[in-house]
Amino acid sequence: MRQLLNARDYREAARRRLPRSLFEYIDRGTEDELALSVLRRSLDAIQLMPRMLTGHAERDLKTLVLGQQTAMLVIIAPTALAGLVSHGGEVKLARAAARANIPVCISTQSVTTIEEVRDGAPGALVWFQLYMWKDRNLSRQLLERVAASGVTTLVLTVDTPVIPRREYNVRNGFSIPLRYTVRAGVDVMMHPRWMFGVLLRYLTTTGMPTYGHYPKEFAARLSGLRSRTR
């Protein structure tokens, strides 16, 4: 970890550690990935201008976000399947957010449930990101669980009226729940640290990892639950 000095180093370390199908699911965009390249250019265009001799002995980045004080204007965005990158990954993200005193937003498509995140990181400022499902009653039940866990900030995702086409997922055979194929098996065995440190730990404790918030009766057809948002 001490040799990882910037975002490129961390990305390369993740590429080596994770199975290709999982890495590309996290790292890449959709279809021709034009939006991803535009986003990269927009971030590169941001310039931070240093100011010296301002009379401030210490930096203070604290700010209010939706009425909640945070150490800086940084929020850990909702990341689907973060729990596949590392065992209990969503809980680890929440613990890191608590140490940094910044919010962490848990995805509807997280491996770990909102209750488990709250129990595993009691000091974290946890938000929740919602994908509306076609069955509004199921969405209401999920939000009731979220509210009961003490979460008061909801982030609603509305940019997926049509499920995006990730062509590399099709080529890699990546799906949730994870399905065994010869190609996937070879991919996993080529990454033994991930196989033993993540996948086998789930298989020997909670079973094959999947979306923690989705009803079990829909485990075999998860994509059908996402709403068309109309």
Task: For 158-193, give the DSSP string.
Answer: -S-SS----HHHHHHT--SS----HHHHHHHHT-HH
48 located within any domain: no
43 located within any domain: no
Query: With contact defined as beta carbons under 8 Å apart, do 198 and 103 qualify?
Result: no
Query: With contact defined as beta carbons under 8 Å apart, do 83 and 90 qualify?
Result: yes
Query: With contact defined as beta carbons under 8 Å apart, do 184 and 21 qualify?
Result: yes
pLDDT band of residue 29 (cuts 50, 70, 90) is confident
Q: Could you tell me the end-to-end alpha-carbon distance of the chain, in angstroms, rounded to an integer?
A: 45
Average pLDDT over residues 126-150: 93
Specify the higher pLDDT residue, 92 or 52. Answer: 92
12 located within any domain: no
Distance of CA 62 to the CA centre of its chain: 24
Average pLDDT over residues 125-140: 92
Residue 71 is predicted with a pLDDT of 95
Q: How many domains does the chain have?
A: 1
73 located within any domain: yes
Residue 58 is predicted with a pLDDT of 84
pLDDT in tens, 153-174: 999 998 777 777 888 887 887 8
How far are the Cα atoms of 3, 12, 67 from residue 7, in angstroms, in the given order?
12, 9, 30
Owning domain of residue 202: 21-29+61-225
Global pTM reads 0.85
Take residue 225 and report the two structure tokens written for it.
């639950």
Only one residue has tokens 């961390």, namely 10
Query: With contact defined as beta carbons under 8 Å apart, do 211 and 138 qualify?
Result: no
Residue 218 is predicted with a pLDDT of 64
Domain CATH code at residue 101: 3.20.20.70
7 located within any domain: no
Q: Does the structure show a pLDDT above 60 at 228?
A: no
Residue 33 is predicted with a pLDDT of 87
87 located within any domain: yes
Mean pLDDT, the chain, whole residue set: 87
Q: Does the structure show a pLDDT above 70 at 227?
A: no
Residue 224 is predicted with a pLDDT of 40
90 located within any domain: yes
99 located within any domain: yes
**Judging by beta carbons within 10 Å of its beta carbon (0-12, 13-18, 19+), is residue 90 exposed, middle or buried?**
buried
For 10-40, the DSSP string reads HHHHHHHHS-HHHHHHHH--STT-HHHHHHH
Q: How far apart are CA 192 and CA 179, in angstroms?
A: 18
Distance of CA 200 to the CA centre of its chain: 21
